[in-house]
Amino acid sequence: MTLNLLDYRIRQRDYLLSITQAMVSRLNVRAVLRLILQAAVDMLQGQSGLIALYNADGAFAFWTSYGLPPALVDAFHPLIEGVPAVDKAEDFTIPNLADKLAQIAEETGLLLRQVVALPMVVDAAGSHAGGEPRQDFLGVLFVFRSHSLSFSPDDRQILKSFADYAAIAVNNAQLYEAAVTERGRLDALLESSGDGIMVLRPDLSIERLNRALASLTGWTAEEAVGRQHDDVIVWARQNSDMTLNQAMEQGWPSRDSGVAMGRSAGASRTLYAEGELRRRNGSVVSVGITYAPLLGRNGRLINIISTIRDITRFREADVLKDTFISVVSHELKTPVSIIKGYAETLRRPEARRNPALVEEMLASITEESDRLARLVDDLLDASRLQAGGLPFRDVEEVDLRFIARRVIERYAPQSTQHRLVLDFTPADDFPTVRGDPQRLEQVLDNLVSNAIKYSPRGGVVEIKGEASTVEVVISVRDEGVGIPFEEQERIFTRFHRVESPETRAVAGTGLGLYLTRAIVQAHGGRCWVDSSPGQGATFYVALPRETGLALWRGAEADGAPQTPPDDTIILDM
């Protein structure tokens, strides 16, 4: 009897050992559960068994069976219908379990006389309000016998050990699945982030970086992983007081280190650095980097999570704001000072005795007032354009030759050094375009004004018009200082002016060409420049004869979808 009991215990130990090895080596929870169920049935001298798991939606489902025909497994569903979830294993019970088994045996024809069911539970994190331990209810393990011998307390104790192993296997599988899901979610967040993210080890070697940072720095993930932080984050200019290495040498991220780099987040112990980052190809980009430590429970540094944001637009906005204040304050101050000076002079009695001087001063006041009004109009137009609404007063058939002649007549008396020339082909029958005549005159006015201002030694300023079957092209050519190639696209941006000894003395806000291109694009056209330093410049305006603004307005009137042509800025009419 003792030998049989010893053999029984050895067999139980061998089963548990094989189950333990399977739980460690296998990720397939169904295979592990089947091994546990087979061992439980064998140890309890049963004929068959089932394991049902509790789903997140509150229902049970059979996960594995042993000793039962697969086609008959669904017939055992009455056993798991209405099974209550419990917080403690001792509270578990299935009402009328024996009666349910008898009914199933009768319906299926299986010789089943006894059944034992034990809950699969694991200790859960947290506790009840009263401090009692709580358990997570994961499922039920069933073992069936064909003979009438009832399950003893020892049988139940043996089965409990197998149920516990099954619960552990299921819990581990769920934890693994949750970990995989969470890792996938973090991977997706990391790779979809518009900001660069870099994970550093405690020695500041790179453990991981995302796609955005690879694009920002020029280092691929394969090339960067394993390298030091300073190999990838190379500062061309840094606004912070110290580097990350220096901050760590001074005790960061210890709470009492008192280290701050740029801006500190205080209790969160994050560091912030800002400056110009040198990319791998040698170019630079403005970035702000936040370093956040990931600490273990014992305070040991596990990782440093670095978030790198491209702040070029913010820097450009700051520069633009400073430029706006500088340019506008200077351009407003000059005409206001002249107007005030002449007005104060006219108040003196001696000035009124000279009618010619009075007329000259009044003419200057009028001229400066017009200059001030144009400046204000340009600023308003720039603001409206940024807000998406530059108004068009009238849209009609426009004779560009007539507008060009009027612009020449306005500027010809203002300079004796320049010879203004008009050349339209064909001269007698130049085609019209549909648009706003005042805005198109503003375009030619800006181009001719610039041609005169940036030709300090004089020369020819030619307005030339050519027509094809699809568009008309107006060009304004001068013999002035010219524009460097690298500046030829930037001159169409707000407040940008070419800095050179020849242009420094020329007054202006840098808004004329910005508004010119916007107006031309609103008409469905194009605007560009061809120039070389010292050889003058030619500005081109191409306007469609039958597309662009006119057809878009017609489509709107006809109730067609209001979709503007490509590369067209649609402004409020």
Q: What percent of the chain has pLDDT over 90?
A: 24
Lowest mean pLDDT among 4-13, 86-95, 447-456: 4-13
pLDDT band at 258 (very low <50, low <70, confident <90, very high): very low
Count Cα neighbours of 524 within 13 Å in the Cβ-side half-sphere.
Answer: 21
As given in the structure block, the two tokens for residue 312 are: 């070029």
Tell me: pLDDT of 334 over 90: no
Q: What are the C-alpha distances in Å from 126 to residues 84, 87, 131?
A: 21, 12, 9
Q: What percent of the chain has pLDDT over 70?
A: 77
Q: What is the pLDDT of residue 419?
A: 92
Q: In whole angstroms, what is the distance from residue 21 CA to residue 40 CA?
A: 16
For residues 523 and 453, the answer to whether their CB atoms sit within 8 Å is no
Q: In whole angstroms, what is the distance from residue 44 CA to residue 154 CA?
A: 10
Mean pLDDT taken over the chain: 79
The pLDDT of 284-313, averaged and rounded, is: 88
Q: Where do the domains of the chain lie, and which CATH numbers do they carry? A: 2-187 (3.30.450.40), 194-310 (3.30.450.20), 318-387 (1.10.287.130), 396-557 (3.30.565.10)
Residue of 66, 65, 78 lying closest to 104 (CA atoms): 78
Secondary structure letter of residue 94 according to DSSP: -
**Model pLDDT for residues 229-246, shown as the tens digit of each residue:** 999 999 988 887 778 888
As given in the structure block, the two tokens for residue 573 are: 């009419």
Tell me: pLDDT of 319 over 90: no
**Model pLDDT for residues 418-450, shown as the tens digit of each residue:** 999 999 988 788 999 998 888 898 899 889 988
Secondary structure letter of residue 428 according to DSSP: S
Tell me: pLDDT of 555 over 60: no
Residue of 497, 447, 502 lying closest to 477 (CA atoms): 447
Tell me: pLDDT of 466 over 50: yes
pLDDT band at 49 (very low <50, low <70, confident <90, very high): very high
pLDDT band at 23 (very low <50, low <70, confident <90, very high): low
Q: What is the pLDDT of residue 240?
A: 76
Token match 């008009």: residue?
A: 422
Q: What angle do CA 515, 519, 525 make, to 5 degrees?
A: 130
Tell me: pLDDT of 265 over 80: no
Q: Is 147 helix (H, G, I), strand (E, B) or coil?
A: coil
Tell me: pLDDT of 123 over 70: yes
Please tell me which residue, 124 or 342, carries the higher pLDDT value.
342
Tell me: pLDDT of 561 over 60: no
Q: What is the pLDDT of residue 499?
A: 67
The pLDDT of 368-372, averaged and rounded, is: 79
Count Cα neighbours of 68 within 13 Å in the Cβ-side half-sphere.
Answer: 31
Backbone angles phi, psi at 17, to 5 degrees: -65, -45
Q: What are the C-alpha distances in Å from 34 to residues 15, 70, 166, 439?
A: 12, 13, 9, 82
Lowest mean pLDDT among 158-172, 410-424, 443-457: 158-172
Indicate the burial class of 24 (C-beta count within 10 angstroms; 0-12, 13-18, 19 or more).
exposed
Q: What is the pLDDT of residue 131?
A: 54
Q: In whole angstroms, what is the distance from residue 518 CA to residue 54 CA?
A: 65
The pLDDT of 453-468, averaged and rounded, is: 91
Tell me: pLDDT of 24 over 90: no
The pTM (predicted TM-score) of the whole model is 0.48
Please tell me which residue, 362 or 264, carries the higher pLDDT value.
362
Residue of 164, 170, 174 lying closest to 40 (CA atoms): 164
Tell me: pLDDT of 570 over 60: no
Lowest mean pLDDT among 93-107, 150-164, 283-297, 522-536: 150-164
Could you tell me which residues are beta bridge partners of residue 541? Answer: 474, 527
The pLDDT of 96-101, averaged and rounded, is: 89
Q: What is the pLDDT of residue 303?
A: 93
Tell me: pLDDT of 8 over 50: yes
Q: Dihedral of the CA atoms 121, 122, 123, 124 (nearest 10)?
A: -90
As given in the structure block, the two tokens for residue 447 are: 């181009």
